[in-house]
Chains A and B, each alone.
Chain A
Amino acid sequence: MSQTNGIVTRKLGKSFPGVRALDDFDFDIRPGEVHCLLGENGAGKSTFINILSGSFSEYEGEIEIDSAPVTITSPARAKALRIATIHQEQCLVPAMTVEENIHLGTEPRRGRFMVDHPKACESARAVLGRLGVAIDPGARVRSLSTAEAQMVEIAKALVLDARILILDEPTASISEREAQELFRIIRELKARGTGFVYISHRLQEIAEIADRVTVMRDGKKVGELAASDASTERIVELMVGRSIGDMLASPRSVATSDIALSVNDLSGSGVKDASFALKRGEILGFAGLVGAGRTELMKMIFGALPRQSGEILLDGKPAHISSPRDAVQFGIGYLSEDRKGEGLVLKQPIDWNISLASLPKLSSGPVVDRRRERAVAKIYRERLSIATPSLDKQAGQLSGGNQQKVVVAKWLETGCRILIFDEPTRGIDVYARTEIHALIRDLAEKGTSIIVVSSDLPELIQVSDRILAMSEGRITGEVAVARTARQAEVMELMLGGAHV
């Protein structure tokens, strides 16, 4: 037995043009422990896990496994060293079955070229059984939920007999209950000696799952703590290098009782008879599990999804919304949960993205008035503190938080009175998250009516005035006055346990 089991990295470094992404990074993962890696976006976490998973052919520093030096220069090499990575974006083939995905690249063979199907199915069933999940090995991955697909990825790692599993924000898009299921599996694998690198933005998960915590900032390690010493305050302080206490919410009251938006008996794909009212200047939260129909409901209100029945009233008058174009004209804005896929044109500059929804207003005749466009963008950069050296920078090069601010700016410029935020802080680091929350409250204060859809309960409780819960397409209940809402109470409604 050697003295240091597991993986140790020494003085790991990686540079990209203009950026020192990782610098002198020392890290170790012992068998049977969960080592949490925390840091804002751009802190270097991704660079680190990309090195461990063999995404780069070159890096600086040394890696040792069980005291023997190794180099990890390709994904195949990482696989041979039994390091498995479960990326935030899924790496499964949707059209193939669970079993085929689990064995992709490691198919049990009969002879040189044939796949041994019975053996493959049996092994897939066995490994899924070990995980204690009820997924049919013959099902197409396309038909699985996010959480199920994640289990399939873990099963794939088990087939590789991985000694190190890297999980990049595994709970970002699964529900609380599914997260608990994931934690159970992590604990079991831990007991069998698997080491974990666990990346998450959700600090409350640390107490639950981590043994050790390493915090990164600007490509460097800024602290390593035992999980028991890792209080939220301490971690946040390390992550952002400053205190965020003064940015936390204080309760506020909605002065008006004017109804800005009311939705009556809206039904359509995934939504059944949804009715609710949104007051002017109110922040209305929507809680629910992934797939509860919240995004679908919002997209119907915004005209991006067809609805079968029901009506939408704006300021008490029926509004005929059948396309996003109509919705925008009625003064509704929608920030998609998929910022990059549905919100921004990533290869175009910041000012360009900000003006996209308001070009007719910023133009004389058919010609875009670039000076005005520029001036408008400058105002928003100031007002929303979008951190960028230049407005010419491509939107895709900004951090998640700044990208979200650009999308907010786009909608504010349309002059919308109702703003729908779908998962406003997904994939956004802690500090930017508090900024976005402050921004949402500020907008409401100034009279914008706001809907916030989030799978992150503490976020909803912190930001909303009132929370509606959805389950299986229906609105199942309401929790009044945000600051007194108890997490358990909302949770119960989300699970569909209590009906109003």
Chain B
Amino acid sequence: MFRGFIARAGIIGILVVSVAVLSVLSPHFLTVNNLTNILLQVAITTIIGVGMTFVILTGGIDLSVGAIVALAIVVMAVVHKALAPMEFGVFQWPIVIGLPMLLALLTGTLTGLVNGVMVARARVPAFIMTLGMMSMARGGAYIVSDNQTISVFPDGLTFLGDGRVGGIPMLIIASLVIVAFAAWVLGRTIFGRYVYALGGNRVALRLSGVNAARVEMSVYAISGLACGIASIALLGRLNVAQPVAGFGYELDAIAAVIIGGTSIFGGEGKVANTLLGALLVGIIRNGLNLLNVSPNVQLLAIGSIIVAAVFLDKLRDSARA
């Protein structure tokens, strides 16, 4: 699609310029260590951004992703710590490692599904529903963890976030696989079509005899699932689970999607560009860190970038009209 092409060309251009500028400004930027670090940080934003892309393509928004990550991560940690001292014989690994991971995915998916049902069936505006869920899930995370930070986990549980396959971090591989799979779903499958149609013209989709509400519910569940995956990755990366995890992640995820050129009004965009958007956000963050810019100023920068991206998108639209 033309729009996708422009967005991609634009972001790649900005990416190249950012890398060039930062390489000159900081001797630490172009090091294997730093670049790997960026990619690992970006991977989590990307995974959440993939789910967010589905939601935004339908014309919705999910503000609760950061809080869902926190809820899922503490559920996983608490269940693991509760089961770890017990003996399950041959089932030791599936129960102590597998079950907590599965619960993280389920927690994310079900929380997302609650968002979806309320948005699609009860017609609560997505902004309000997920804003409410942001608080509910965060509250849930504090309750489940009893305000405690839980730390030190076995290798199996941290593999996604910390492991390597053939020297390449597992998390980077996983995020690329997830992006590729999402691109396939959105680009090739019937469900993908319906996601675009829902954002492009909800009534037309419904009048075409498609259960539009079910499509809408699904995208929030997908966003929740992505948060579940991200929570497993985060636990592995930090080897810590705490109820404040994932704070502010919604900002980076939405920024990645929007900077990737997906229309905030739905119906248009590409998930592969979300990866580029996440890279750009990650590189800018990292660069500001290396340049000793305070986190407060970073917030200011990322916020401005989101607004600028939407503004440019508007300009592009009106230039075409």
Q: What residues make up the interface of A, taking CB atoms closer than 8 Å to B?
A: 302, 304, 323-325, 327-329, 334, 336, 341-348, 352, 356-357, 359-360, 363, 366-368, 370, 410, 414
Contact = CB atoms under 8 A, between A and B. Distances in A.
B201 interface: yes
Given A359-B193, A366-B191, A341 B209 contact: no
A367 B201 contact: no
B209 A327 contact: yes
Contacts of B193: 352, 356, 359, 368
Contact of B208 (A329, A348, A366, A410): A410
Nearest to A335: B207
B190 A356 contact: no
A352 B205 CA distance: 12
A277 B211 CA distance: 29
Contact of B268 (A347, A357, A360, A414): A347
Contacts of B201: 341-342, 344-346
Contacts of A346: 200-201
Contact of B204 (A328, A343, A359, A368): A343
24 contacts: A304-B206, A304-B207, A323-B211, A324-B207, A324-B208, A325-B209, A325-B210, A325-B211, A327-B209, A328-B208, A336-B207, A341-B204, A342-B203, A344-B201, A345-B204, A346-B200, A356-B193, A356-B210, A359-B190, A368-B188, A368-B189, A368-B190, A370-B188, A414-B209
A366 B194 CA distance: 12
Nearest to A360: B190
Nearest to A328: B209
B200 A345 contact: yes
A395 B85 CA distance: 62
Contacts of B206: 304, 324
B188 A356 contact: no
A363 B190 contact: yes
B95 to A, nearest CB: 33
Contacts of A356: 193, 197, 204-205, 208, 210
A183 to B, nearest CB: 34
B54 interface: no
Given A356-B208, A367-B190, 20 more contacts: A324-B206, A324-B208, A342-B201, A342-B204, A343-B207, A345-B196, A345-B204, A345-B205, A347-B267, A348-B197, A356-B205, A356-B210, A357-B208, A359-B190, A359-B193, A366-B190, A368-B188, A368-B190, A368-B192, A410-B208
A366 B197 contact: no
Interface residues of B, number: 22
Nearest to B320: A17
Most A CB within 10 A of own CB, among B194, B208, B210: B208
Contacts of B194: 359
Nearest to B265: A347
The main secondary structure of chain A at its interface with chain B is mixed
A344 B205 CA distance: 8
Given A345-B267, A347-B267, A348-B200, A367 B188 contact: yes
- Which of B197, B206, B209, B267 is packed against the most chain A CB atoms within 10 Å? B209
A323 B197 CA distance: 18
B209 A344 contact: no
A50 B193 CA distance: 36
Going nearest first, the 7 A-B pairs with the smallest beta carbon separation are A328-B209, A345-B200, A357-B208, A359-B190, A366-B189, A342-B203, A345-B201
A356 B205 CA distance: 8
Given A325-B209, A410-B208, A345 B197 contact: yes
A414 B207 CA distance: 13
Interface in B137-173: none
Interface in B176-228: 188-194, 196-197, 200-201, 203-211
Contacts of A360: 190
Nearest to A336: B207
Contacts of B205: 345, 356
Nearest to B209: A328
Nearest to B189: A366
Contacts of A357: 208-210
Contacts of A336: 203, 207
A348 B196 contact: yes
Contacts of B268: 347
A304 B192 CA distance: 23
A347 B207 CA distance: 17
Contacts of B188: 367-368, 370
B205 to A, nearest CB: 7
A357 B206 CA distance: 9
Nearest to B197: A345
A345 B191 CA distance: 16
Nearest to A326: B209
Nearest to B190: A359
A414 B210 CA distance: 12
Most buried by A among B194, B201, B267: B201
Interface string B250-277: 0000000000000000011000000000
A23 B310 CA distance: 36
A370 B193 CA distance: 12
Contacts of B197: 345, 348, 356
B212 to A, nearest CB: 9
A344 B204 contact: yes
A363 B190 CA distance: 8
A178 to B, nearest CB: 27
